[in-house]
Amino acid sequence: MAEERRDQRDGRDAREGAQTAGEPWRRRVRAEEAQAWDALVETARRTVSDGLVVGTSGNVSARVGDIVLVTPSGVPYDRLTPDDTVGVDLDGRQVLGTLLPTSELPMHLAVYRSTDAHAVVHTHAVHATAVSTLVPELPSVHYMSGALGGPVRVAPYATYGTEELAENMLHALADRSACLLQNHGTIAYGDSLDQAYDRTAQLEWMCRLWLTASSVPGLSPTLLSGEQVAEAGERLRGYGQWG
């Protein structure tokens, strides 16, 4: 036990010594980054409590200026504290924290480089992942497809954490704010963490709806046309309260 405490103390002293050495990823977290980190952790925990991920299987990020805050690799979300803030620049260089960023960092960075996104949510939601194994595109079973830019595409499979997967994802996201990842899960982005999360939840719900409707023997779901989905999408742009 004494050796364990000594090892922990030595490790902590080593990290603190590195922090004072002026390495670039040890800079202090700014106020706006701290606020965004708190919201990011809350969103990540919500993916678990709402059943969209199991354990540490998903990841969440938020952009603050030119810094991308992202959940660390392999750390349960209920253990994350303000001291665990992880941040990288748009080239993937770590500028905040000592924990390693999520292995899916290439996907997150690809979204930020290619869109005006301020938040990204990636999950392994059960129904959405099931649909990703069955079809190349989620059938338009509900008008909420319009809120995501149109019929949701499935990005071809590639090994997790690779540039190939990030490239496949970008093709599937063209003119869309969410897509499915074949045999993997979902990814959605938005102007805020709330919007990215809502799009993720809506996508999972539509996948569950289609699977449920498709399971009735002898019947097939009625699908919406492209025009109907596009019209709904236009109406949804003004949905909610003004201001």
Interstrand relation of 87-89 and 59-64 (parallel, antiparallel or unpaired) = unpaired
Residues 129, 53 contacting (CB under 8 angstroms): no
Please give the distance of CA 241 from its chain centroid, rounded to a whole number. 26
Task: Clarify whether 231 is annotated catalytic.
Answer: no
Interstrand relation of 87-89 and 94-96 (parallel, antiparallel or unpaired) = antiparallel
Residues 15, 9 contacting (CB under 8 angstroms): no
Residue type (1 letter), 72: P
The one catalytic residue among 23, 33, 104, 234: 104
- The gap between the terminal CA atoms of the chain, to the nearest Å, is 58
Nearest to 202 by CA among 155, 236, 243: 236
Residues 126, 156 contacting (CB under 8 angstroms): no
Residue type (1 letter), 243: G
Question: What CA–CA distances, in Å, run from 63 to 39, 191, 211, 222?
Answer: 12, 10, 34, 39
For 19-52, the DSSP string reads: HTTT-TTBPPPPHHHHHHHHHHHHHHHHHHHTTS
Residues with catalytic roles: 104
